[in-house]
Amino acid sequence: MVQIMEIKVLGAGCAKCKATYELLRGIVEKNGVAATVVKVEDVMELLSHNVLSTPAIVIDGVVRFKGRVPTESEARKLVGLES
């Protein structure tokens, strides 16, 4: 059985958060990555991950990136497409 990766983009709805979400969603769709990508704007959830700098990327419950929009290469590494 294929395990589906859970990717959350945390942010308050700013342009950088939206760009990060679209970048990750596009990479997942184009490359057939078994993952769900969701945008989270709930302040309490941001705080539960101890995130004060957005956008932040949480993969399977672990904060993996925060503070800026990742490059495409960085995003591909986060989802396991590049080493």
Q: Report whether 65 contacts 20 (CB < 8 A).
A: no
- Are residues 24 and 57 in contact, defined by beta-carbon separation less than 8 angstroms? yes
Q: Where are the domains of the chain?
A: 5-74
Per-residue pLDDT band at 1 (split at 50, 70, 90)? low
Give the pLDDT of residue 82. Answer: 85
What average pLDDT does the structure give for the chain? 94
Check residue 61 and give its pLDDT: 95
- CATH domain 5-74 topology: Glutaredoxin (3.40.30)
Per the CB < 8 A criterion, the answer to whether 70 and 38 are in contact is no
Q: What is the pTM of this model?
A: 0.93
* Between residues 46 and 27, the one the model is more confident about: 27
What one-character-per-residue DSSP string does 31-70 give? HT-SEEEEEE--HHHHHHTT--SSSEEEETTEEEEESSPP
Mean of pLDDT values over 54-65 = 96
Exposure on the CB side of residue 82, measured as CA atoms within 13 A: 9
